Amino acid sequence: MFKFFRQIRKRLLDGGKVNRYLVYAGGEILLVMIGILLALQINNANEARKDRNKEIGYLTNIREDLITNGEKIDALIERRNKRIETAHKLIGHLEGDPVEDWHQFNLEIIQINTWERFYQHNYTFQELISSGNLSYIKNDSIKTLLFELESTYKRLKAEEDHWRFDSEELVFKPAYEDLDMQLILRDYRGEPNVLSNTVFKDFFADRKVKNGYVMATVEFGTMNRYLQTMKRHIEEISDLIDEEISKG
């Protein structure tokens, strides 16, 4: 191709056709520029396709993380709702409702005393932040909701820390001070007729115990509301991701 152009240029110059040569030279320059622009467009298209593939990969992984979190949230909300119900039952007993089954009563106390945190599965989002690759996600609504999800998660962690402090002071401490833990454990392991009203006499008289269960109903409810907000964010983000991926 280049040899062909050189032959044309030589014939024009040898023939003294300077004006025609200038026109030819301008056309040759134009062709070169068009070739460069086409190459740039092809290169840009290839880069855009690579970036899009990376974006879809990140979005797919984020969606998988969100699915995991949604399942964990549903299970934890259910467990905490049961603990709220249990706390109300225990408050009723402390206010005078008779205890018909001391073994069941003991199990309910242990259920409230069980400590549990929620840990978010957000490895892909953290990777995007730490690597500086968040710009691959082009949908601003998805990015905004991801940050809102992270913000709600942090508020949940603060509430869990609050409950941890209250539970240590109002639930764990009175139990250790008022109850014979050896008898509690013997009953928990299935030994019959270990517990009675006498074992729980000081426990029932301790105002901190009731206050602890009251705070359990309040703070478990608050933590569940944060989890429900996170679940709504997860559903919104998942819908946006599905729409984005469907674009190809």
The pLDDT of residue 25 is 56
Q: What residue ranges do the domains of the chain occupy?
A: 55-246
Chain centroid to CA 134:
16
- 202's tokens: 């000081």
Sign of the dihedral defined by the CA atoms of residues 77, 235, 67, 149, in that order: negative
Q: Which residue has the tokens 């005393």?
A: 113
The pLDDT of residue 148 is 97
The upper half-sphere exposure of residue 206, i.e. CA atoms within 13 Å in the direction of its Cβ, equals 19
- 190's tokens: 């299935």
Q: Please spell the DSSP secondary structure of 190-246, one letter per residue.
A: T-TT---TTTTHHHHH-HHHHHHHHHHHHHHHHHHHHHHHHHHHHHHHHHHHHHHHH
**Interval 148-190: pLDDT, tens:** 999 999 999 999 999 999 999 999 999 999 999 999 999 999 9
Amino acid code (one letter) for 44: N
The pLDDT of residue 21 is 46
Q: Work out the average pLDDT over 88-107.
A: 96
The pLDDT of residue 247 is 85
Q: Work out the average pLDDT over 48-75.
A: 92
Q: Please spell the DSSP secondary structure of the chain, one letter per residue.
A: -HHHHHHHHHHHHHTT-HHHHHHHHHHHHHHHHHHHHHHHHHHHHHHHHHHHHHHHHHHHHHHHHHHHHHHHHHHHHHHHHHHHHHHHHHHHHHTT---S-HHHHHHHHHHHH---------HHHHHHHHHT-GGG---HHHHHHHHHHHHHHHHHHHHHHHHHHHHIIIIIHHHHHHS-HHHHHHHHTT-TT---TTTTHHHHH-HHHHHHHHHHHHHHHHHHHHHHHHHHHHHHHHHHHHHHHHT-
Angle value at C-alpha 101, between 97 and 102, nearest 5 degrees: 95
Is residue 12 pLDDT above 70, yes or no? no
Of 10-24, 45-59, 84-98, 114-128, the least confident: 10-24
Q: Are 54 and 136 in contact (CB under 8 A)?
A: yes
Mean model confidence pLDDT for the chain = 87
Is residue 7 pLDDT above 50, yes or no? yes
Q: Are 55 and 77 in contact (CB under 8 A)?
A: no
**Interval 194-218: pLDDT, tens:** 999 999 999 999 999 999 999 999 9
pTM of the model as a whole:
0.81
- 180's tokens: 């014979």
Instruction: Report the alpha-carbon distance of residue 225 to residue 160 in Å, rounded.
Output: 12
The pLDDT of residue 115 is 83
- 107's tokens: 């199990």
Of 49-53, 124-128, 220-224, the least confident: 49-53
